[in-house]
């Protein structure tokens, strides 16, 4: 566990997501949860050693990697309205059947059946937690995924951005809105956040070069998918695009490259279906 500011901690040692813990006088405020049972036990043990009483758990978006462990954390859960709506539309129990989506949870067979944690608190635009003189602002930023949010600590100048910035691996595209996503990234580079420490949901502390690289990558992805749509290309061609996009991470080993190619193929196929092939709503 790394203390990045007074009473603000992150942990990047668990599979799937970067975890956050804010040690506020009223209790612990947690950001996301691990999904493996052994990791949940380890994380909870670490939190007990911090002496926190009440727990509030913030989910950064709708991705299963950060939602699967929420129930086992036995905390009050807060998330965006879209996350609540999505979970309410699913069966109450998640069966971990690998689906070649390129998700981190798919690499583990011991998860069993998991019950979703429906958020007790949800919001549409912005929500503030006032457990101390320092506010914690939850801000809707839905570019990278449905229900995606940022967690802003204005006094400490820390910004948790979830999967808005993913370094050294391709992001998930299944529920993204790429033009909005690019605007979110440009906001991170704006003067407002110039002195902030930026925390990514997969990589921990980020550099501004990571944000710039993410913009370039999304520009490339959007250009290729738009070209495919404008030429009325077949959805099967996305596999070829995914293979080429995975090659932009040359340091990956063969195993990881296959996983990330699956991630790109699945995510971009879902994106293409929703943005370009979906039937318009009747007037």
Query: Which DSSP state fits 191?
Result: G
Residues comprising the chain, all counted: 283
- Asked if the model's pLDDT at residue 111 lies above 50, the reply is yes
* Within a domain: 206: yes
Model confidence over 55-107: pLDDT tens digits? 899 999 988 888 888 888 888 999 999 999 998 887 766 665 556 665 665 66
Residue 283 lies in a domain: no
For residue 231, what are its two tokens?
């030429």
Flag whether 133 is in a domain. yes
Domain region containing 133: 2-277
Predicted pLDDT at 90: 75
3-state secondary structure of 82: helix
- Residues 6 or more apart whose CB falls under 8 angstroms from that of 116 comprise 67, 70, 71, 87, 90, 92, 93, 94
Dihedral sign, CA of 100, 103, 108, 111?
negative
Beta-carbon count within 10 A of 21 CB: 22
Least confident of 2-16, 82-96, 111-125, 269-283: 269-283
Residue 30's pLDDT is: 94
What confidence category does residue 281 fall into, taking pLDDT thresholds of 50, 70 and 90?
very low
Write down the mean pLDDT value for the chain.
Answer: 87
Rounded to whole angstroms, what are the CA distances from 45 to 39, 42, 75, 157? Answer: 10, 5, 14, 28
Question: Into how many domains does the chain fold?
Answer: 1
Please tell me the distance from the alpha carbon of residue 197 to that of residue 207, in angstroms, as a whole number. 9
Q: Could you report how far apart the first and last alpha carbons of the chain are, in Å? A: 53
282 inside domain? no
For residue 187, give the CATH number of its domain. 3.60.15.10
Q: Is 258 part of any domain? A: yes
CB 1 within 8 A of CB 27: no
pTM score: 0.89
Q: Give a yes or no: residue 273 inside a domain.
A: yes
Residue 87 in any domain: the answer is yes
Q: pLDDT confidence of 283, banded at 50, 70, 90?
A: very low
Strands 76-80 and 93-95 come out as unpaired
CA proximity to 196, closest of 209, 185, 207: 207
What pLDDT, on a 0 to 100 scale, did the predictor assign at position 80? Answer: 96
């Amino acid at each position: 566990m790394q203390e990045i500011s007074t009473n603000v901690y992150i942990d990047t040692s668990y599979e799937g997501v970067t975890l956050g813990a804010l040690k506020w006088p009223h209790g612990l405020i947690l950001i996301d949860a691990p999904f493996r049972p052994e990791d949940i036990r380890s994380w909870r043990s670490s939190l007990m050693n911090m002496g926190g009483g009440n727990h509030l758990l913030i989910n950064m978006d709708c991705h299963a990697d950060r939602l699967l462990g929420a129930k086992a954390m036995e905390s009050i859960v807060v998330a965006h309205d879209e996350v609540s709506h999505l979970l309410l539309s699913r069966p109450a129990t998640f069966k971990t059947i690998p689906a070649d989506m390129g998700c981190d949870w798919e690499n583990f067979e011991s998860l069993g059946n998991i019950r979703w944690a429906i958020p007790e608190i949800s919001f549409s635009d912005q929500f503030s937690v006032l457990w101390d003189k320092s506010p914690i602002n939850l801000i809707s930023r839905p570019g990278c995924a449905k229900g995606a949010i940022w967690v802003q600590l204005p006094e400490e100048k820390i910004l948790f951005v979830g999967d808005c910035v993913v370094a050294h691996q391709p992001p998930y595209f299944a529920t993204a809105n790429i033009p909005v996503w690019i605007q979110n990234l440009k906001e991170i580079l704006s003067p407002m956040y110039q002195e902030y420490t930026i925390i990514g949901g997969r990589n921990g502390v980020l550099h501004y070069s990571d944000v710039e690289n993410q913009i370039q990558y999304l520009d490339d992805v959007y250009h290729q998918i738009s070209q495919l749509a404008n030429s009325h290309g077949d959805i099967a061609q996305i596999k070829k695009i995914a293979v080429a996009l995975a090659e932009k991470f040359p340091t990956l080993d063969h195993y990881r490259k296959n996983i990330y190619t699956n991630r790109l193929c699945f995510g971009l196929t879902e994106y293409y279906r929703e943005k370009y092939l979906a039937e318009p709503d009747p007037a």
